[in-house]
Amino acid sequence: MAAVIEVNNVVTRFGERLVHDGVSLHVNAGEIYGFLGPSGCGKSTLMREIILLEPIQSGTIRLFGEPLDTLSFDAAQTLRRRWGVLFQSNALFTSLNVAENIAVMLKEYTALPAALIDEIVAFKLDIVGLTPNEGKLYPSQLSGGMKKKVALARALALDPPLLFLDEPTSGLDPVSAREFDALIMRLRDMLQLTVVMVTHDLASIETTLDRMAIIDERRIAAEGTLSEVKEVPSPFIRTFFGGDVS
Ligand SMILES: Nc1ncnc2c1ncn2[C@@H]1O[C@H](COP(=O)(O)OP(=O)(O)OP(=O)(O)O)[C@@H](O)[C@H]1O
C-alpha cells in the first residue's frame, strides 16, 4: 500500500520546550489513522506541520511522495487543494448560510459557473446527511453535530483525497459522536479517502481507526492497529486503554 504521508525524524522545539524529538510515522492510502497521546504531546502541532501551517524545523515530511520542505510557492498551493481540514472550532463563517459556507472553497479555488457550484453544494450536503432546507440555515441555527457536518462538507468541497480532522467528536453528545464516526467511515469508503484524525475519543478510536500513532514523551511510543499498540508497555497506553482513568 502506498504511503500518503511519511513523517521522518521530525524535531520540533518552541523555545526551551522540545515537543517532538525524532517523530516518524507513515499513513497509508485509504486508512483512517489516528494521532493519540497525552494533552500537550504535540498531536495538533504535527498535524499543523503536515498541512503547512507550521514550519518543519528538522526532519522531513512527504505528502503524496513530495517533500514539503523544498516545495515552491505554486507547488504548495497545488498541494493544499489535495487535502481538506475539519478544525476543532469548525471555523464556519457566521454571516454565511450552510450552502454558502460550502460554496466558499469552490468560489475561491475554481472558476466553475454558479449553477454547477449549486449542484456540487447540493451533492456535498447530501453526502454528509443534510437536507437542501438545512442548507439555508445559518451556523447559529445549527446543533453541534450539524455544524460538524457542514464543516466536513466544506472540507470535502474540492474533492480532496486526504482529510484531516482535529478532535472531530469533542463536544458532541454520544449519539451525534457515533453518528459522525459512522459518517466518516461511510465517506472514506464512498470517496476512497485517506483520513487522519487527532482524537481522545475511545469509542471513535475503537470503531473508526485502522491504525494509529501514540505520541508520548516527544516520540512515537507505538504505531499500529489498536491491538498492536495496546501490547506496547507504556504508562500512557496502559492508563488510556486500561481503564485506569476515564
Ligand atoms: N506556536 C507555538 N508556540 C509555542 N508553543 C507552542 C506552539 N504551538 C504549540 N506549542 C506548544 O507545544 C506543545 C504541544 O502542543 P499541541 O497543541 O500540539 O499538543 P496536543 O497534543 O495537540 O495537545 P491537546 O491534546 O491538549 O490538544 C504544547 O506545550 C504547546 O503549548
pTM as predicted: 0.93
What's the pLDDT tens digit per position in 20-79? Answer: 999 999 999 999 999 999 999 999 999 999 999 999 999 999 999 999 988 999 999 889
pLDDT at 232 over 60: yes
Between the alpha carbon of residue 44 and those of residues 53, 91, 109, 167, 212, the distances in Å are: 11, 16, 26, 9, 14
pLDDT at 245 over 60: no
Centroid of ligand 1 to alpha carbon of 42 (angstroms): 5
175 vs 186: CA distance, rounded Å? 17
152 vs 164: CA distance, rounded Å? 10
Residue 89's pLDDT is 81
Q: Average of pLDDT values for 81-99? A: 92
Helix, strand, or coil here: 239?
A: helix
Residue 246's pLDDT is 41
Residue 235's pLDDT is 87
Supply 114's cell numbers: 454558479
Task: Name the residue with the closest Cα to ligand 1, atom 13.
Answer: 40
Delineate the domains of the chain, giving CATH numbers in brackets.
31-54+77-242 (3.40.50.300)
What's the pLDDT tens digit per position in 112-132? Answer: 999 999 999 999 999 999 999
94 vs 159: CA distance, rounded Å? 23
Residues in contact with ligand 1 by the CB-under-6-Å rule are: 14, 17, 19, 37, 39-45
Work out the pLDDT band at 1, boundaries 50, 70, 90: low
Residue of 12, 39, 45 best suited for mutating to test ligand 1, as the one with most atoms within 8 Å of CB: 45
Q: What percent of the chain has pLDDT over 70?
A: 98
Q: Which atom of ligand 1 is nearest to the CA of 15?
A: 4
Centroid of ligand 1 to alpha carbon of 73 (angstroms): 26
Residue 117's pLDDT is 95
